């Protein structure tokens, strides 16, 4: 059914539902048509999700986490080699995943990692996250791809930020709180074996608003993007399917968290969506 006619049909069916099916034909037939219309709407919706700044016709959507709820069928809240920390410091609300700095019962900050390990993985394609980063010394938010086949550890770090690191990783505001202005993008052939990496200076406070962090993974190259603009590329061959990770860890170039590090939900690593696409053309497979 052409688009306009289908829309008119759905509107008429909704009117019929409001006044009672008895005035519009058989109940069963109308109910079936409404169900078909609803299913069609759900099926058409993903087509609108295209990689930001990319040619939509080059891609097919394979993963769309919009965070309407926490979906345990997609995510595990710990890595394969460690248990989930019992202190709750993440939630999904108002269509956003939030992970925040928190001290546990012993007074220590602890890491939180959400992964699709064993639930979704992909070889090649375009991977994108829209997020707002947390503030504070020691915070280390990240978005990356990873695999652990045998003893190998291939990895693509799409975004790793270190607000507490020295300029230009970030700066300290008037209240003494560290804010991120840069992040790292890195490709690892294996643990400790870097294929290339770069510190990307965004020249803006990445905790102030949402930005899009992405990577296009091709058979012989990985290209990184910020808000649809290319920032860095690495000529490298990575052949292992990888799963998706988002985490809020502490330390590394961000230093150790302290009393200046804001805790609680109001200082969350906020993720609006995570999406992945595969290349439409066979030449990329």
Q: Residue 3: left (phi > 0), alpha (psi -120 to 50), or beta?
A: alpha
Share of the chain above pLDDT 70, in %: 82
pLDDT tens column, 78-131: 999 999 999 999 999 999 999 999 999 999 999 999 999 999 999 999 999 999
The pLDDT value recorded for residue 105 is 95
pLDDT tens column, 137-158: 999 999 999 999 999 999 999 9
pLDDT tens column, 11-65: 444 433 443 433 344 455 444 544 444 443 344 454 469 999 999 999 999 999 9
201 with 190: CB under 8 angstroms? no
The pLDDT value recorded for residue 55 is 95
The pLDDT value recorded for residue 281 is 81
């Amino acid at each position: 059914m052409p688009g306009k006619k289908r829309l008119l049909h759905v509107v008429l069916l909704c009117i019929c539902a409001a006044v009672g099916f008895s005035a519009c034909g058989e109940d069963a037939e109308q109910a079936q048509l409404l169900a078909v219309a609803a299913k069609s709407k759900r099926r058409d919706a993903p087509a609108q999700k295209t990689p930001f700044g990319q040619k939509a016709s080059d891609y097919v959507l394979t993963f769309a986490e919009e965070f309407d709820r926490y979906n345990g069928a997609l995510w595990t809240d710990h890595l394969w080699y460690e248990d989930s920390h019992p202190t709750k410091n993440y939630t999904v609300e108002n269509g956003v995943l939030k992970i925040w700095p928190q001290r546990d019962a012993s007074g220590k900050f602890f890491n939180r990692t959400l992964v699709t390990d064993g639930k979704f993985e992909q070889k090649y394609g375009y991977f994108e996250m829209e997020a707002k980063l947390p503030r504070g010394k020691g915070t280390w938010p990240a978005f990356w791809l990873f695999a652990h086949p045998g003893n190998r550890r291939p990895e693509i770090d799409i975004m790793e930020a270190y607000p507490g690191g020295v300029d230009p990783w970030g700066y300290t505001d008037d209240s003494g709180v560290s804010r991120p202005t840069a992040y790292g993008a890195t490709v690892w052939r294996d643990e400790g074996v870097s294929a290339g990496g770069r510190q990307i200076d965004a020249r803006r406070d990445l905790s102030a608003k949402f930005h899009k962090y992405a990577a296009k993974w091709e058979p012989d190259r990985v290209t990184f993007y910020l808000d649809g603009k290319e920032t860095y590329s690495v000529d490298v061959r990575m052949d292992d399917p990888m799963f998706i990770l988002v985490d809020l860890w502490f330390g590394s170039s961000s230093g150790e968290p302290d009393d200046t590090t804001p805790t609680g939900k109001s200082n969350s690593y906020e993720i609006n969506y995570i999406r992945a696409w595969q290349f439409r053309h066979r030449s990329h497979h």
